[in-house]
Amino acid sequence: MNDELLTTFDEHGNITGTAPRGDVHRLGLWHETFHCWLVSRDPGTGLSIWLQLRSGQKRDYAGLLDITAAGHLLSHETTEDGLRELEEELGITVPFTSLHPLGIIPYTMDTAGFLDRERANVFLHETSLPLEAFHLQPEEVAGLVTARFDDFRSLWEGKLSSIRIRGFRVEGDSRITIDEEAGTGSFVPHEQSYYRKIIAGIAAAFT
């Protein structure tokens, strides 16, 4: 996987060439990713946001809550090719025309030995599928949960210290119910500005 070629960019979004994925992260080079956030509506609870629980096998941010489906775009891929992340990670097929684009959101995550500079092609998708319709890729995704969008927004605005998440995690051949509280420390540490832009985009599109 570290040998996969990614297109690299400068800080202004100009293409500078290609580099292996391992070098891109080691050197902190800008590269493209695909992010898709799922939302759903329920007459009783209103708008919900869907979150994946990262697999405990992941090298980075194992066991944390994250974007519903996301991944790198290889040097030969288009943005539409990012749909494979929904198929691989969540086991669902979604037409590209059903996605609501939020544009490219550049952001940086800097942790020990890992500098991730992404130009994220971000999309929203409204789903009416039940949890039972999702079939997770175990090496990538350990579970899937939803949270009320208003609570999610309040969490990242600092108005709540935790929110209720509900869904399931996969353990072997079983699905274990999740119904618990989660604070910001339970999430992958994307820049707060990234979360705020996602929240603003969802609010504009669906509320």
Would you state the pLDDT for residue 112? 62
Cβ atoms 57, 64 nearer than 8 A: no
What is the model's pLDDT at position 207? 80
Predicted pLDDT at 114: 75
Q: Does the model's pTM come out above 0.85?
A: yes
**Contacts of range 168-172, beta carbons closer than 8 Å, 24 or more positions apart:** 168/131, 168/143, 168/144, 169/53, 169/142, 169/143, 170/136, 170/138, 170/142, 170/143
Tokens of 76: 């030969």
pLDDT at 174: 94
> Are the CB atoms for 159 and 70 separated by under 8 Å?
no
Q: Which two tokens stand for residue 46?
A: 């209103």
Q: What is the pLDDT of residue 35?
A: 98
- Other Cβ atoms less than 10 A from the Cβ of 155: the count is 21
CA-nearest of 134, 116, 138 to 30 is 116
**pLDDT string in tens for the chain (207-residue length):** 568 999 999 999 999 999 999 899 889 999 999 999 999 998 888 999 999 999 998 888 999 999 999 999 999 999 999 999 999 999 999 999 999 999 999 999 887 667 899 999 999 999 999 999 999 999 999 999 999 999 999 999 999 999 999 999 999 889 999 999 999 999 999 999 999 999 999 999 998
CB atoms within 10 A of CB 130: 8
Whether 105 contacts 120, CB under 8 Å: yes
Domains recognised in the chain with CATH numbers: 5-206 (3.90.79.10)
